[in-house]
Amino acid sequence: MLSAEAKIRVRYAETDRMGYVYYGNYATYYEVARGELVRKIGVTYVQLEADGYFLPIAELKIKYIKPALYDELLTVKVTLKKFESAKLEFEYQVFNEQGELINTGYTLQVFISGKTRRPTRPPKYFIEALEQAIKRDNN
Amino acid sequence: MLSAEAKIRVRYAETDRMGYVYYGNYATYYEVARGELVRKIGVTYVQLEADGYFLPIAELKIKYIKPALYDELLTVKVTLKKFESAKLEFEYQVFNEQGELINTGYTLQVFISGKTRRPTRPPKYFIEALEQAIKRDNN
Amino acid sequence: MLSAEAKIRVRYAETDRMGYVYYGNYATYYEVARGELVRKIGVTYVQLEADGYFLPIAELKIKYIKPALYDELLTVKVTLKKFESAKLEFEYQVFNEQGELINTGYTLQVFISGKTRRPTRPPKYFIEALEQAIKRDNN
Amino acid sequence: MLSAEAKIRVRYAETDRMGYVYYGNYATYYEVARGELVRKIGVTYVQLEADGYFLPIAELKIKYIKPALYDELLTVKVTLKKFESAKLEFEYQVFNEQGELINTGYTLQVFISGKTRRPTRPPKYFIEALEQAIKRDNN
């Protein structure tokens, strides 16, 4: 549907004593890429949250193929695979500088209302901006 | 097969601007519980690594049911579900102070050799200690 | 004035490729100890924040003497050194399992109002609870 | 002596429930800027570590002036203030998108030998590269 990517240089803080990026930190890398995709839509999390919408994660899956090392410049590709009422499904691929696929991931997010903390439809402006972005991306 | 649990108090550092524990931090909570299970076996990661064995994560899955909040005392239960040649499969359940199940997880780890960085069988002393621990746990 | 301590076991996530606890993570360890001190006062951050008070850090100093390693059980001692109008000054000492002092720290926190985001006096109940806690501690 | 800067976009993972970047995370931001400065010298940590040199932090100071918020694009300026035998002193300034100075910092690092884990002089190639970089920067 809609794709984006982020370049992320591995920080020392993100490595562990094995010398690898700690396995939980890819969740943050995915977040950075997702932020770029949302930016491409022309909406920001900041705006959504100011309007009372939050997007907590309902599901996360990661398959680790190769480790990432300190100072490597990673490419994190994210694709919006599905968008249905309150739900957003994303898929991720992380590549190292040699172009090797080092892990793949999946997240499911649900729009919730900041007030009720329950699932809710996203605001109209988000849906319209998303549809526009998908059109732009397909041309 | 073998279970353990860890009590973890949510740190301010682990929350995000939604007021929830950031979704990637559960990977760390799982690690803490896994460490307790390994301790129960009577072996430590430190010892395994000193002997040239590493246990990187090959797969992670998390389903988020409810958020965890600052200062809550969580209980993280971990169970070793499968142990086969180089592979270890763990399942996790996280409960809040009200005893509510707030998320469930799964990890797959693979023994690798520090030298070759390739999968390898765990050392005999680990296998024996694990078998003993399982016996103790079943009595 | 008032002291507390926290036992913290070093997590794998907190180590870096040098095999040491990453230098920024001590800020989190200090926070955990500070939380115990606040608990001793009988007030929680959660309550203060619910009442519209926040305590952001205005200053941090750390001197690193020895590294901390994975799985070590650290003792983090915190002492409230000064409490004056909106300001709280804390000092920290971190010890490893051998009882060696491995680092010392200092933080300055300022009470701010959640509404104005400007410095403010703490609520009366905090001041009274603090005075009671100091008396208890000195007996 | 020698300066560099890094652009860092605040990640959701780095915020806390106050909505601010967690105070310990600036240590990581400083690290990123320091990495850019080292890159400017033409040497990398990776190379230094491969040659048996490590650069743990001996001291950290941060003064927090204003908070940083989610998705802000920060500029982190780092300056090497002093370089003497085994010691490196850096100063930091963090600016938000409005160009406001939001915090200032200081770190002291000491070259240690990976073998002895004791202070040691940096390798000649580092000293020479540093002197060249300072000359280039002053022209």
Strand ranges (E), chain D: 2-9, 53-54, 57-64, 73-84, 87-95, 101-110, 112-113
CB atoms within 10 A of CB B58: 21
Confidence grade of residue B74 (pLDDT, cut at 50, 70, 90): very high
Choose the closest CB to B24 out of D13, D16, D24.
D13
- DSSP label of A10: P
Name the C residues in 8-27 with CB < 8 Å from any B CB. Answer: 9, 11-13, 27
Q: State the best of C70, C73, C96, C107 to mutate against chain B, taking most chain B CBs within 10 Å.
A: C70
Strand, helix or coil for residue A95: strand
CB contact set of C28 (below 8 Å; sequence gap of 6+): B11, B13, C14, D22, D24
pLDDT tens for each residue of D78-96: 999 999 889 999 999 999 9
Contact between A71 and D44 using a beta-carbon 8 Å cutoff: yes
Token output for A78: 């994210």
What is the rounded average pLDDT for all residues in chain B? Answer: 94
Domain ranges in chain C are 2-138
The stretch B127-138 carries a mean pLDDT of 90
Instruction: Compute the distance between CA of residue A83 and CA of residue A90 in angstroms, rounded to an integer.
Output: 9
The answer, yes or no, to whether residue C76 has pLDDT greater than 80, is yes
DSSP of C50-98, one letter per residue?
HTTEE--EEEEEEEE-S--BTT-EEEEEEEEEEEETTEEEEEEEEE-TT
Confidence grade of residue B94 (pLDDT, cut at 50, 70, 90): very high
Closest residue on chain D to B71 (Cα): D17
- Å from B136 to nearest chain A CA? 31
Helical H segments across C11-91, by residue range: 26-41, 45-50
Helix (H) or strand (E) holding D35: helix D26-41
pLDDT tens for each residue of B50-59: 999 999 999 9
pLDDT score for A46: 86
Higher pLDDT, D84 or D29: D29
Confidence grade of residue D71 (pLDDT, cut at 50, 70, 90): very high
The structure tokens 């072996």 sit at B43
Hey, which chains touch B, using 3+ CB pairs under 8 Å?
A, C, D
Contact between C44 and B71 using a beta-carbon 8 Å cutoff: yes
pLDDT score for A137: 84
pLDDT score for C71: 95
pLDDT score for B107: 98
* Amino acid occupying residue D21: V
List C-alpha distances in Å: A9 to A69, D6, D48.
Answer: 10, 12, 18
The answer, yes or no, to whether residue B137 has pLDDT greater than 90, is no
Confidence grade of residue C27 (pLDDT, cut at 50, 70, 90): very high
Rg (CA), chain C: 16
Q: Which residues pair with D95 in a beta bridge?
A: D75, D101
CB atoms within 10 A of CB C79: 16
Q: Which residues in chain B are contacts of D70 at CB distance < 8 A?
A: 17
Confidence grade of residue B100 (pLDDT, cut at 50, 70, 90): very high
pLDDT score for A44: 85
Q: Which residues in chain C are contacts of B69 at CB distance < 8 A?
A: 46
pLDDT tens for each residue of B12-28: 999 999 999 999 999 99
Closest residue on chain B to D71 (Cα): B17
Contact between A59 and B56 using a beta-carbon 8 Å cutoff: no
CB atoms within 10 A of CB C7: 11
Closest CA to A55 of A130, A112, A127: A112
Please count the residues of chain C: 139
Contact between C12 and A24 using a beta-carbon 8 Å cutoff: no
pLDDT tens for each residue of A40-81: 999 888 889 999 999 999 999 999 999 999 999 999 999 999
Pick the CATH number of B2-133 from 3.10.129.10, 3.40.50.300, 1.10.150.120, 3.60.20.10: 3.10.129.10
Judge contact between D45 and D9, C-beta under 8 A: no
Judge contact between B23 and B67, C-beta under 8 A: no
Helical H segments across chain D, by residue range: 26-41, 45-50, 124-138
The distance from CA B127 to its chain's CA centroid, rounded to whole angstroms, is 17
Token output for C114: 């959640």
CATH superfamily for domain D2-138: Hotdog Thioesterase (3.10.129.10)
pLDDT tens for each residue of A75-127: 999 999 999 889 999 999 999 999 999 999 999 999 999 889 899 999 999 99
Closest CA to B109 of B134, B126, B84: B84
pLDDT score for B63: 98
Instruction: Compute the distance between CA of residue B14 and CA of residue C35 in angstroms, rounded to an integer.
Output: 14
The stretch D104-133 carries a mean pLDDT of 93
Judge contact between B94 and B72, C-beta under 8 A: no
The answer, yes or no, to whether residue C1 has pLDDT greater than 90, is no
Closest CA to C24 of C33, C34, C35, C14: C14
Contact between A32 and D9 using a beta-carbon 8 Å cutoff: yes
Torsion, CA B62, CA C28, CA C8, CA B76, rounded to 10: -20
The answer, yes or no, to whether residue B79 has pLDDT greater than 80, is yes
Instruction: Compute the distance between CA of residue B14 and CA of residue B21 in angstroms, rounded to an integer.
Output: 5
pLDDT score for B68: 97
Q: Which residues pair with C92 in a beta bridge?
A: C78, C105
Helix (H) or strand (E) holding C2: strand C2-9
Hey, which chains touch A, using 3+ CB pairs under 8 Å?
B, C, D
Confidence grade of residue C25 (pLDDT, cut at 50, 70, 90): very high
Q: Which residues in chain B are contacts of C31 at CB distance < 8 A?
A: 11-13
pLDDT score for A85: 85
Closest residue on chain C to D66 (Cα): C58
Hey, which chains touch C, using 3+ CB pairs under 8 Å?
A, B, D
pLDDT score for C20: 95
Choose the closest CB to B13 out of D12, D22, D70.
D22
- Å from A84 to nearest chain C CA? 35
What phi and psi, each to the nearest 5 degrees, are found at residue A125?
-60, -30
